[in-house]
């Protein structure tokens, strides 16, 4: 159906009917081949080589149909080949008959019913049924003419009535199947169009969200910065950004909306706009997060929570001031001791409406120190055995890779370790990290 909904209504209807007939036909071919082999053995054993010709012709037809089954010829011209085969096969069953004196045979009445296995429009079904009627009637007229017997009008009427009834019922069954298929096709086509529209909208939303993230890392004389964000779905819930306060002061912010999707992306758009406006005011990181908390609570009708880490690095004072709203702790690699410390501030996420008691910390730094901002998608990455990557592994990898490497090299090494740990597992959450190294 996924392929059929891409076709026009007429083409989809034709392909669906042809596909059904092909499945039935190739199942019956095996029976035809077995029947032809057994029949040939019987006729040859009884000394009737003429009748064995019919079996040989049947085997040749079956073999040819199997040969062209997956070839372009069959795909392009299935219906005429199918109808032609039915016509020839039915005629073979009727023309080669050992009893030439017989007026009518039982197969004259039963063979038209063979079409009930298939679904064919009336005008096309008339080809094999009409050919069979002409063969049976012509044979009867020929036999009666050669033997001076009277034409059996009633038998001709019965045969004609059976042929017409078969055409009528096959046509009805075919029309019913086509109607059922078109109902499903129209429903799936509407769903396909809706899914396509949603994919286009999600793609647009993804482009908008990606445009909110920094296009390139900032060029700061006293800092080496490298960030990356990998969403788990079309529209992620992670965000990071850089704001230059002055030549000696740089802001790094990282955030994570609970969940991911269009709603998360829209909320992050509002947060980013507010951050740009608040950069012009002389507020501390704690005060900025407090204002963002009120904005999130007042603008979201549903409970959407945001964890955020807001840090300002001051080159003149050689210190970092940060405030956190429920975000994973900042990791600091201390160049003097080659140790990694966690800098966290217990607090609730933005938008909890529970009275956020936000705190603030100031941390000194020196040249060579490294700060790692990250979202919980890293620590919560699962491997094939459903084991967590965890903060301890992240700290260990940062300690092992931080020495004498650039921010970009550290970022790529940490991300590569997360990806190797995940293996073939599915990415269930957005992954974002920002590495800041003091020059």
Determine the Cα–Cα distance for residues 211 and 235; give it in Å rounded to an integer: 12
CB 236 within 8 A of CB 260: yes
What angle do helix axes 78-95 and 122-147 make, rounded to 10 degrees? 20
End-to-end CA distance of the chain: 59
- How many whole angstroms separate alpha carbon 245 and alpha carbon 220? 12
CA distances from 221 to 249, 250, 312, 367 (A): 11, 11, 16, 12
Give me 360's structure tokens. 């603030």
Residue with tokens 């059996």: 152
How many C-beta atoms lie closer than 10 Å to residue 150's C-beta?
Answer: 7
What are the structure tokens assigned to 289, written together?
């997060």
Q: Output the tens digit of pLDDT for each of the chain's 439 residues.
A: 667 777 788 888 888 888 888 888 888 888 888 888 887 888 777 777 777 777 888 888 888 888 888 888 888 888 888 888 888 877 777 665 555 445 566 667 777 887 888 888 888 888 888 888 887 777 767 766 666 666 667 878 888 888 898 889 988 998 998 888 888 888 888 888 888 877 776 676 666 666 677 888 999 999 999 999 888 765 567 889 999 988 999 999 999 887 556 666 677 778 888 888 887 778 899 999 988 888 888 876 566 788 999 999 999 999 999 999 999 999 999 999 999 999 999 888 988 866 567 889 999 999 999 999 999 989 999 888 888 999 999 999 999 998 889 999 999 999 999 999 988 878 878 899 999 999 9
C-alpha span between 369 and 439 (Å, rounded): 8
What are the backbone angles phi and psi of residue 280, rounded to the nearest 5°?
-80, -10
Question: DSSP code of 250?
Answer: E
Which domains are present in the chain? 4-192 (no CATH), 217-438 (3.60.40.10)
The number of residues in the chain equals: 439
Whole-angstrom Cα distance, residue 275 to residue 212? 12
Beta bridge pairs of residue 228: 433
CA angle 255, 398, 366 (to 5 degrees): 85
pTM of the model: 0.61
Residue 25 φ/ψ, nearest 5 degrees: -60, -45
Query: Which sign, positive or negative, has the C-alpha torsion 11, 12, 16, 19?
Result: positive
């Amino acid at each position: 159906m996924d392929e059929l909904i891409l076709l026009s209504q007429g083409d989809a209807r034709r392909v669906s009917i042809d596909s059904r007939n092909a499945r039935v036909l190739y199942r019956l071919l095996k029976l035809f081949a077995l029947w032809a082999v057994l029949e040939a053995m019987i006729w040859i054993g009884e000394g009737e080589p003429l009748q064995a010709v019919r079996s040989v012709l049947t085997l040749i037809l079956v073999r040819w149909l199997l040969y062209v089954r997956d070839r372009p010829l069959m795909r392009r011209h299935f219906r005429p080949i199918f109808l032609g085969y039915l016509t020839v096969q039915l005629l073979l069953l009727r023309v080669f008959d050992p009893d030439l004196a017989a007026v009518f045979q039982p197969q004259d009445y039963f063979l038209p019913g063979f079409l009930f296995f298939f679904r064919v429009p009336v005008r096309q079904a008339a080809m094999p049924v009409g050919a069979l009627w002409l063969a049976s009637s012509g044979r009867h007229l020929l036999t009666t003419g050669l033997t001076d017997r009277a034409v059996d009008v009633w038998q001709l009427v019965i045969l004609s009535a059976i042929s017409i009834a078969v055409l009528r019922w096959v046509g009805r069954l075919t029309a019913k199947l086509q109607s059922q298929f078109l109902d499903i096709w129209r429903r799936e086509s509407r769903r396909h169009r809706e899914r396509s529209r949603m994919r286009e909208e999600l793609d647009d939303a993804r482009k908008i969200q990606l445009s909110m993230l920094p296009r390139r890392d900032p060029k700061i004389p006293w800092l080496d910065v490298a960030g990356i964000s990998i969403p788990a779905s079309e529209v992620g819930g992670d965000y990071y950004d850089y704001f230059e306060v002055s030549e000696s002061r740089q802001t790094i912010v990282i955030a994570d909306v609970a969940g991911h999707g269009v709603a998360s992306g829209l909320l992050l758009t509002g947060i980013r706009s507010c951050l740009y406006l608040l950069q012009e005011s002389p507020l501390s990181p704690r005060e900025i997060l407090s204002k963002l908390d009120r904005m999130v609570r007042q603008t979201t009708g549903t409970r959407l929570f945001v964890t955020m880490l807001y840090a300002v690095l001051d080159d003149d004072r050689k210190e970092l001031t940060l405030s956190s709203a429920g975000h994973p702790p900042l990791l600091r690699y201390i160049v003097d001791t080659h140790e990694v410390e966690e800098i966290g501030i217990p607090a609730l996420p933005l938008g909890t409406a529970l009275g956020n008691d936000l705190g603030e910390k100031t941390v000194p730094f020196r040249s060579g120190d490294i700060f790692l901002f990250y979202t919980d998608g890293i620590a919560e990455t699962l491997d094939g055995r459903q084991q967590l990557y965890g903060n301890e592994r992240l700290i260990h990898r940062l300690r092992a890779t931080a020495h004498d490497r650039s921010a970009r090299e550290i970022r790529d090494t940490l991300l590569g370790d997360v990806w190797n740990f995940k293996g073939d597992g599915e990415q269930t959450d957005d992954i974002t990290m920002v590495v800041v190294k003091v020059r």
